[in-house]
Amino acid sequence: MIDVKPILEGNVRAAARLMRDLDDRRPEGMAALKQLFPHTGKSYIVGITGNPGAGKSTVVDALIAYYRSLGEKVGVVAVDPTSPFSGGAILGDRIRMQRHALDPDVFIRSLATRGHLGGLSRSTFDVASVLDAMGYSRILIETVGVGQDEVEVMRAAHTTVVVTVPGLGDDIQAIKAGLLEVADVLVVNKADREGADRTERDLMHMLDLRTGDRKAVEIVRTIATRGTAEGSGIAELAKAVEAHRARVWQGEAGSERANVRAAAQVAELVRALLADRATQAMRARGGMHELAQAVVEKRSDPWSLAEELVEAL
């Protein structure tokens, strides 16, 4: 049984220990989350995603500096679905955010893929809950890429910022289309580059193609500079986030949105727990190797086998 009192008091080492327990899927970790739950709900969570090469981490870096300058405690969840390493071991905190690592009011946690039955979205919700209970009033979720993982991770955010940049390649249109679905605020970063006007026009056009809610998404231009809140446009970006917060997280619409977010979290947890069960079911049938061999030798087919396994649960 984990004593959650130090975590509620903001003890960083106790929190890091709990996060490791959660990584290892220890039952004590889940029990601790249940105890922390009554103390959550005070943080505002901002997700930052977007095209590779758009300078997301620089935008995050500048936002940390900005929120710190307002006296907010800032938690960061750096999510990298392309990395096999979890915990503090990935690029995220090591290189990009060194400067903030010395600030006791900034807590940075990296999350990466831990086995394909894992569930990054679940871990993101879990870590955000811990940071929330610890008193971090602002939580930033950063992802490195663009894909369905990122879209799911963003379900934990209250406001999702999508960062793009002028002059990207030809696969970009398709990527933008997927990301636009989740964008609450759009950023054109490196706005001093040639083509910024055109990028903004393109984005507006794509928003127009969405069903009638173009005005709901603000487009902000930034020239983020690593390590300073004075990066051009960062204050405007923070303002756009607050505007979105005021617009959608209040009143009846706000309750509805909170419901959708909680539903996503429960669904993700159910999925993760079922995945654990599936692993157990396979072990009970002599392990996956044995089962797969039946498929290779065409003694059984994958679909029948999967059905049998699920029936046996």
- In whole angstroms, the minimum distance from the beta carbon of 69 to a copy of itself comes to 25
Q: φ and ψ at 225, to 5 degrees?
A: -120, 130
Q: Which one, of 181, 189, 274, lies nearest residue 224 by Cα?
A: 189
Is 296 a binder of a copy of itself (CB under 8 A)? Answer: yes
Six-digit token string for 80: 């990298």
DSSP-assigned letters across all residues of 278-303: HHHHHHHTTHHHHHHHHHHTTSS-HH
Is 277 a binder of a copy of itself (CB under 8 A)? Answer: yes
Q: Name which of residues 49 to 88 contact a copy of itself (CB under 8 A).
A: 51-57, 80-84
Is 192 a binder of a copy of itself (CB under 8 A)? Answer: no
Is 113 a binder of a copy of itself (CB under 8 A)? Answer: yes
Is 151 a binder of a copy of itself (CB under 8 A)? Answer: yes
Is 306 a binder of a copy of itself (CB under 8 A)? Answer: yes
Q: x/- site string to a copy of itself, residues 196 to 235, per CB under 8 A?
A: ----------------------------------------
Which long-range contacts link 5-10 to residues 24+ away (Cβ below 8 Å)?
7/32, 7/36, 7/130, 7/133, 7/134, 8/36, 8/39, 8/133, 8/134, 10/134, 10/135
Is 289 a binder of a copy of itself (CB under 8 A)? Answer: yes
**Cβ distance to a copy of itself smaller for residue 190 or 221:** 190
- Cβ burial of 228 (10 Å; 0-12, 13-18, 19+) is middle
- In whole angstroms, the minimum distance from the beta carbon of 67 to a copy of itself comes to 23
Q: φ and ψ at 222, to 5 degrees?
A: -130, 155
Q: Is 18 helix (H, G, I), strand (E, B) or coil?
A: helix
8-state DSSP, 95 = I
Q: Which of 38, 104, 212, 251 binds a copy of itself (CB under 8 A)?
A: 38
Is 253 a binder of a copy of itself (CB under 8 A)? Answer: no
- In whole angstroms, the minimum distance from the beta carbon of 269 to a copy of itself comes to 4
8-state DSSP, 37 = G
Which residue shows structure tokens 């003694």?
299
**Cβ distance to a copy of itself smaller for residue 69 or 255:** 255
Q: Which of 260, 283, 284, 286 binds a copy of itself (CB under 8 A)?
A: 260
Stretch that binds a copy of itself, among 4-12, 34-42, 198-206, 214-222 (CB under 8 A): 34-42
* Cα–Cα distance measured from residue 161 to residue 3, given in angstroms and rounded to the nearest whole number: 35
Q: Name which of residues 131 to 150 contact a copy of itself (CB under 8 A).
A: 144-150
Distance of CA 145 to the CA centre of its chain: 11
- In whole angstroms, the minimum distance from the beta carbon of 171 to a copy of itself comes to 4
Stretch that binds a copy of itself, among 13-21, 165-173, 194-202, 213-221 (CB under 8 A): 165-173
- In whole angstroms, the minimum distance from the beta carbon of 227 to a copy of itself comes to 15
Q: Which of 171, 192, 197, 230 binds a copy of itself (CB under 8 A)?
A: 171
- In whole angstroms, the minimum distance from the beta carbon of 93 to a copy of itself comes to 13
DSSP-assigned letters across all residues of 237-253: HHHHHHHHHHHHSSHHH
**Cβ distance to a copy of itself smaller for residue 101 or 260:** 260
131 touches 18 (CB < 8 A): no
